[in-house]
Amino acid sequence: MTIQPAKLSDPAVRAFVSAVNSHDRERFLSLLAPDATMADDGSDRDLAEWIDGEIFSSHGHMEVDNESRGGRRILARFRNDTWGEMRTKWTFTVEDDGRISRFETGQA
């Protein structure tokens, strides 16, 4: 059963998923801490390059199936024009100011 983005527990994760799904790069970037980092399948990646290639230039979209750890870990069906659809896990580190300092994703 899909969890609508507006129903996600953590405000930062809720905004992240919404920005991805609406292809709002400016909003997406405003959610990240200035020194934010990320990893894909266990390897650190260049954040700007990854989000452009995997989300924005390839029309990324997330459908969240499950959340845990107070909403900071989600299982989602992620799809984009490059890879099609895959089951993915996402873990978020959110700072006191509400911005995301790190996210990790990979196949679930």
CA–CA distance, 99 with 108 (Å, rounded to integer) = 25
Q: What is the pLDDT of residues 57-106, one digit of tens each?
A: 999 999 999 999 999 999 999 999 999 999 999 999 999 999 999 999 99
Beta-strand relationship, 32-40 and 100-107: parallel
Give the per-residue pLDDT at 28.
Answer: 98
Give whole-number Cα distances, 59 to 13, 35, 99, in Å: 19, 25, 23
Q: How far apart are CA 1 and CA 98, in angstroms?
A: 27
Q: What is the pLDDT of residues 28-50, one digit of tens each?
A: 999 999 999 999 999 999 999 99
- pLDDT at position 1, please? 79
Residue ranges and CATH numbers for the domains of the chain are 5-107 (3.10.450.50)
Q: What are 3-15's pLDDT values in tens digits?
A: 999 999 999 999 9
* CB-CB contact of 67 with 74 (8 Å): yes
